[in-house]
Amino acid sequence: MATDTDAASSTVNHIDVFWHEGMLKHDTGNGIFDTGMDPGFLDVLEKHPENSDRVRNMVSILKRGPISPYISWNLGRLALIPELLSFHTPEYVNELIEADKEGGKMLCAGTFLNPGSLDAALLAAGTTLSSMKHILDGNGKVAYALVRPPGHHAQPSQADGYCFLNNAGLAIQLALDSGCKKVAVIDIDVHYGNGTAGGFYSSNKVLTTSLHMNHGSWGPSHPQSGSVDELGEGEGYGYNLNIPLPNGTGDNGYIYAFNELVVPSIQKFGPDMIVLVIGQDSSAFDPNGRQCLTMDGYREIGRIVKGLATRHSDGRLLIVQEGGYHVTYSAYCLHATLEGVLNLPLPLLEDPIAYYPEDETFPVKVIEAIKIYIKDKVPLWRTA
């Protein structure tokens, strides 16, 4: 349990947010949820869940919400094509460029590259790289890349799950290339961060930890299952930790998973940079997830992760935006996460809608089973 001294030392007085409004120009269209399909008999089609409205609210709540005095704004930038090659293959990057020249295409289910999408993806990648460089250059300890389209499903050679370029993966590689010896990734998006994991699957320099809904593979673009036995390979064996959680795990279950699995793993690994990959689609009201986190849960996760950064990475923490598709509640959950990172003594915002009765009995059993498996299979847990 953190002491008062730990809490005081983990306090940060502001967060550097990196953003560029050009990312709003990625138009994902309308249809039945994320299919882009119009069956012809519905009067009202919905926006694709990964639409610009969700991010507009994230920007506005940070600019006009009670957290605004703690936010410093920085302008994002386009990534250069050569920068993409630190994570992605030349063939895949060329595929994106050609698709853009031809007016766009559906790269995989739900993932539409339309006119303006590639520039938005390049802005997301470049903005995340600028956020990491800001930390590496000593200009700040905590930076948040507020970006879209998201990236953690994008693999070195293919798009997946609304993602074109792996923003976090590019930033992690930049940290390694800039002298960081070990980078820890904590992904709390409701879906498995398969692209980020895949990019470092053979590396013992990057510990990828993903807490996600137990959704399994969803097709050719996402062959990974996110199961506990996907542990890495070669030198990277044991450095990919999947924590698939049952639907409805909730605040208490997530915090239990952090305390029992995530915190000990980070302590054993000893990173000199931490990357928190956030998605508010783990919330109680998200159309794309069923995990039932509320603002309280996100706030505590932010506090725990910032405490880990204080103890292990000299306070250096990069936060990268991924999913979160409830247009209003995602913004509130983001606000709560950053409140936790700031280690504020009292919540700045009350939760406007959350009420969901929690029973952590089953999630605790699942987490304990994962812990037994990890202790048996993961060398990191046996040697430290």
| Residue numbers annotated as active site | 153
First-last CA distance in the chain: 19
- H-run or E-run covering 113: strand 111-113
Q: Please tell me the distance from the alpha carbon of residue 184 to that of residue 207, in angstroms, as a whole number.
A: 5
**Closest to 309 in 3D by CA, of 318, 322, 300:** 318
**DSSP character at residue 222:** B
Q: Please tell me the distance from the alpha carbon of residue 130 to that of residue 123, in angstroms, as a whole number.
A: 10
Q: Please tell me the distance from the alpha carbon of residue 187 to that of residue 203, in angstroms, as a whole number.
A: 17
In this structure, the strands spanning 317-321 and 142-145 are: parallel
**DSSP character at residue 45:** P
Positive or negative torsion for Cα 46, 49, 50, 56: positive
**Closest to 340 in 3D by CA, of 60, 15, 56, 1:** 15
Q: Which residue has the tokens 């600028």?
A: 130
Q: Which residues is 17 bridged to in the sheet? A: 73, 144
| Ordered DSSP codes for 136-189 | HTTS-SEEEE--SS--TT-BTTB-BTTBSS-HHHHHHHHHHHTT-S-EEEEE-S
